[in-house]
């Protein structure tokens, strides 16, 4: 990097720090100056997709909006018609499925135009169990810590609770490439204690949920508080103020609400909260509006619907006319991008200078033609077969799509690259084939690909020993997946079929012996937790290949009861993310 570039970067960082410090102290923002969107309210249709953390579609998720409900299909898609936005043209959408963290997103549209929504549901596993009478201190890799005092847990109605608590903690880091897809609400809209609307610039979030053995939601007792530590990512250390407002997510409105302050201690923020929700350490900033249209250079610049556009820390999706819009923090430079892995391999990136408060900036995006790989999926008998399709380069997913009505797909990639095309069915089975992306803006049609059953079973087995009685359990024929968390340095593997489920959290991402693994077993409706089980990973493949190993140790039934010994446990899953 040249000296002038270094100087420019230095001044940009200083300018951003000043903006964050000053904005955190201000209590006013001028409503109405940050938008050209009409406040009328209208009836629209909403279409979208619900996916997991790896980008794979989730079937059977429930999507609710304006009193209506839809269930996602095998390809994760859903449609809601004749839903009405509020007076600010905002529609609140609730997406949920058992085993995943629910998401509430705010969708903003203009006039009567239909909208699109792409929702990511993170996996949900218990971080630990503890006795309400004893309290707990939960740690996550990277520096997250949640401390719960003894005797500070009550039922949602405030009545006493003294049983076993399931504690689930999730860190939503700004360093996560999918940060903008995981944040509750989706648009970082906030309101200060005096009612002033703001847009937030986030330094990270921690979601905390407590439930009883029966699944009943629990809360902190009135007058008691919990201490939460939020790690500050390395790229934000230089601009993180010494004090910053705390915000909790209000599920009823989909808006972040200011409540308290967090103080910086080295590379973490420390704050005290008196109830659990998703908590956020953010600078409240005045706003500007970015809007534009996305068009296709390969089709006479027709507008493109459903393109995911990332604007700074949030991601929005184009409507039927290819339009997008986003309220962002004024005074903060940002990156405008169409990310390859979210948009069938098509890509665009532009660095944009900080915008003035209340201004509107038009950023139209033209997606170039690009080189692509196309094909058709059939079963072993040559009949059309619906499939989720990914393109991977050097073990990383760079594009994905779902086959169309004729079981065809088309994915764009780096010109001249040798890639892997991987096909997934709803049970997690995978077929792989190699392909080359053309050197020029043309399509490489690789023809028909047959989806036949793989030659390796994906399963889990364990022997259950309880007071001298032994029983073997085997889970096969269901979903078996492995997901790594590069930011947190851990691997989650899950095998599920019917009422049997094994979920293993491995504190690492490689072959080896792990003495502090976290294992959740669900056997015919009862959940057992093993907090410090021994997990041995004997095989750790790249994405699309196998993760397998063994596990053993003691597990306790949620809600109390005798521990059981788990021996000779083994698992074989397909790695789908990381």
Q: Which residues, other chains included, contact 468 with Cβ-Cβ below 8 Å and sequence gap of 6+? A: none
pLDDT of residue 412: 96
Token digits of residue 113: 């135009």
pLDDT of 294 reads 96
Residue 263 has pLDDT above 50, yes or no: yes
Residue 206 pLDDT > 50, yes or no? yes
The CATH code for residues 128-176+186-285 is: 2.60.220
Of the two residues 28 and 411, the one the predictor is more confident about is 411
Q: What are phi and psi of 280, to 5 degrees?
A: -140, 135
With beta carbons less than 8 A apart as the criterion, state whether 551 and 536 touch: yes
SS3 state at 576: strand
pLDDT at site 2: 32
CATH class for the region spanning 371-451: mainly beta
Of 343-357, 443-457, 513-527, 552-566, the poorest mean pLDDT is in: 443-457
How confident is the model over 61-102, as pLDDT tens digits? 999 999 999 998 877 889 898 888 887 778 899 999 887 889
User: How many other CB atoms are found less than 10 A from the CB of residue 485?
Assistant: 21
pLDDT in tens, 314-332: 999 888 889 998 999 999 9
Q: For residue 472, what pLDDT is reported?
A: 82
pLDDT in the model for residue 348: 96
Q: What share of the chain is helix, strand, coil (3-state, %, to 5)?
A: 5, 55, 40
Q: Of 375-389, 411-425, 453-467, 555-569, give the range with the top mean pLDDT.
A: 411-425
Q: Is the pLDDT of residue 43 over 90?
A: no
**Predicted local confidence at residue 468, as pLDDT:** 67
Location of structure tokens 């009943």 = 216
Name the residue with tokens 């309400």.
132
* Residue-wise DSSP of 85-122: --TTSEEEEEEE-TTB--EEEEEE--TT--EEEEEE--
Lowest mean pLDDT among 119-133, 169-183, 264-278, 351-365: 119-133
Element (H, E) at 23: helix 3-25
What is the pairing mode between strands 255-265 and 268-273? antiparallel
CB 61 within 8 A of CB 71: yes
Mean pLDDT comparison of 16-20, 266-270, 379-383, highest-scoring range = 266-270
For residue 480, what are the CA distances in angstroms to 404, 431, 496? 25, 15, 7
Q: Are strands 500-506 and 490-497 parallel, antiparallel or unpaired?
A: antiparallel
Confidence tier at 542 by pLDDT (50, 70, 90) = confident
pLDDT band at 429; cut points 50, 70, 90: low
Banded model confidence at residue 311, pLDDT cuts 50, 70, 90: very high
**pLDDT band with cut points at 50, 70 and 90 for residue 515:** confident
Q: Say if CB 401 and CB 332 are below 8 A apart.
A: no
SS3 state at 234:
helix
Predicted confidence at residue 204, as pLDDT, reads 94
Alpha-carbon 545 to chain mean position = 23
For 32, 123, 134, 234, the CA distances from 51, given in Å and listed in that order, are 34, 11, 38, 29
Whether domain 43-120 has CATH 3.40.50.10490: no
pLDDT confidence band for 355 (50 / 70 / 90): very high
Per the prediction, the chain carries an average pLDDT of 84
pLDDT, one tens digit per residue, over 112-159 is 567 778 888 887 777 888 999 999 999 888 889 999 999 999 999 999
Structural contact between residues 38 and 89, judged by C-beta atoms closer than 8 angstroms: yes
Residue 13 has pLDDT above 50, yes or no: no
Higher pLDDT, 367 or 13: 367
**Confidence class for position 17, pLDDT limits 50, 70, 90:** very low
**What pLDDT digit, counting tens, does each position of 452-470 carry?**
755 556 788 888 887 767 7
Higher pLDDT, 485 or 308: 308
Cβ-Cβ contacts under 8 Å for 431 (sequence gap 6 or more): 422, 423, 449, 450, 451, 452, 454
Burial label, 379 (beta-carbon count in 10 A; 0-12, 13-18, 19+): middle
The average pLDDT across 238-265 equals 94
Structure tokens at 387: 């499939």
Residue 558 has a pLDDT of 81
Which of 12-26, 259-273, 277-291 is predicted least confidently?
12-26
Q: Would 43-120 and 371-451 be classified into the same CATH topology?
A: yes
Confidence of residue 4 (pLDDT cuts 50, 70, 90): very low
Cα 165 from Cα 482, distance rounded (Å): 27
More confident residue, 528 or 481: 528
Is pLDDT of 395 > 60? yes
The secondary structure element, H or E, covering residue 9 is: helix 3-25
| Distance, CA of 331 to CA of 11 (rounded, Å) | 13
State the pLDDT at residue 7: 26
Query: By C-alpha distance, which of 174, 152, 176 is closest to 165?
Result: 152
Residue 427: pLDDT over 60: no
pLDDT of 556 reads 87
Both structure tokens of 528: 């057992």
Q: Tell me the two tokens of residue 430.
A: 């995978």
CA dist 19 and 86 (Å) reads 32
Q: What's the pLDDT score for residue 333?
A: 94
State the pLDDT confidence band at 41, using cuts at 50, 70 and 90: low
Which of the residue ranges 13-27, 53-67, 73-87, 166-180 would you say has the lowest mean pLDDT? Answer: 13-27
pTM beyond 0.85, yes or no: no
Domain chopping of the chain, boundaries: 43-120, 128-176+186-285, 371-451, 459-577
Does pLDDT of 212 surpass 60?
yes
């Amino acid at each position: 990097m040249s000296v002038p570039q270094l100087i420019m970067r230095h001044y940009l960082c200083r300018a951003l720090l000043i903006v964050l410090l000053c904005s955190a102290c201000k209590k006013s923002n001028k409503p109405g100056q940050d938008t050209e969107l009409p406040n009328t309210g209208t009836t629209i249709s909403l279409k979208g997709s619900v996916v997991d953390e790896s980008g794979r579609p989730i079937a059977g998720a429930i999507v609710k909006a304006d009193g209506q409900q839809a269930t996602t299909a095998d390809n994760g898609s859903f449609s809601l018609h004749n839903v009405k936005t509020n007076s600010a043209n905002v529609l609140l959408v609730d997406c949920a499925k058992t085993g995943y963290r629910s998401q509430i997103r705010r969708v903003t549209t203009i006039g009567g135009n239909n909208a699109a929504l792409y929702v990511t549901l993170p996996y949900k596993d218990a971080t630990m169990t503890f006795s309400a009478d004893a309290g707990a201190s939960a740690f996550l890799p990277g520096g997250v810590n949640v401390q719960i005092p003894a005797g500070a847990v009550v039922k949602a109605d405030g009545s006493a609770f003294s049983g076993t608590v399931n504690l689930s903690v999730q860190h939503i880091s700004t360093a996560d490439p999918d940060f903008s897809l995981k944040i509750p609400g989706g648009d970082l809209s906030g309101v200060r204690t005096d009612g002033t609307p703001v847009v937030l610039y986030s330094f990270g979030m921690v979601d905390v949920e407590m439930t009883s053995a029966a699944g009943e939601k629990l809360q902190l007792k009135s007058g008691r508080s919990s201490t939460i530590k939020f790690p500050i990512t390395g790229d934000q250390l230089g601009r993180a103020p010494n004090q910053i407002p705390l915000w909790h997510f209000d599920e009823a409105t989909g808006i972040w609400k200011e409540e308290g302050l967090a103080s910086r201690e080295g590379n973490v923020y420390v704050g005290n909260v008196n109830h659990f929700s998703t908590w956020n350490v953010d600078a409240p900033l005045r706003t500007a509006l970015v809007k534009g249209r996305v068009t296709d250079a390969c089709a006479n610049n027709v507008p493109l619907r459903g393109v995911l556009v990332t604007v700074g820390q949030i991601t929005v999706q184009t409507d039927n006319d290819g339009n997008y819009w986003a309220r962002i923090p004024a005074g903060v430079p940002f990156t405008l991008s169409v990310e390859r892995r979210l948009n069938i391999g098509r890509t665009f990136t532009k660095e944009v200078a900080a915008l003035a408060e209340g201004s509107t900036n038009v950023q139209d995006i033209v997606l170039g033609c690009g080189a692509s790989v196309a094909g058709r999926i059939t079963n072993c008998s040559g009949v059309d077969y619906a499939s989720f399709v990914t393109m991977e380069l050097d073990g990383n997913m760079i594009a994905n799509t779902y086959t169309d009505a004729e079981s065809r797909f088309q994915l764009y990639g780096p010109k001249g690259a040798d890639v892997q095309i991987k096909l997934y069915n709803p049970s997690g089975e995978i077929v792989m084939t190699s392909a080359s992306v053309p050197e020029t803006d043309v399509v490489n049609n690789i023809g028909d690909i047959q989806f036949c059953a793989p030659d390796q079973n994906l399963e889990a087995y364990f022997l259950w020993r309880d007071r001298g009685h032994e029983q073997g359990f085997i889970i096969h024929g269901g979903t078996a997946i492995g997901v790594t968390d590069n930011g947190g340095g851990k691997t989650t593997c899950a095998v599920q079929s019917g009422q049997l489920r094994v979920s293993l959290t491995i504190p690492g991402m490689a072959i080896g012996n792990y003495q502090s693994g976290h294992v959740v077993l669900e056997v015919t409706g009862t959940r057992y937790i093993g907090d410090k089980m021994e997990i041995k990973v004997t095989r750790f493949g790249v994405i699309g290949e196998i993760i397998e190993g063994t596990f053993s140790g003691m597990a306790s039934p949620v809600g109390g009861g005798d521990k059981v010994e788990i021996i000779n446990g083994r698992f074989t899953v397909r790695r789908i993310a990381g």
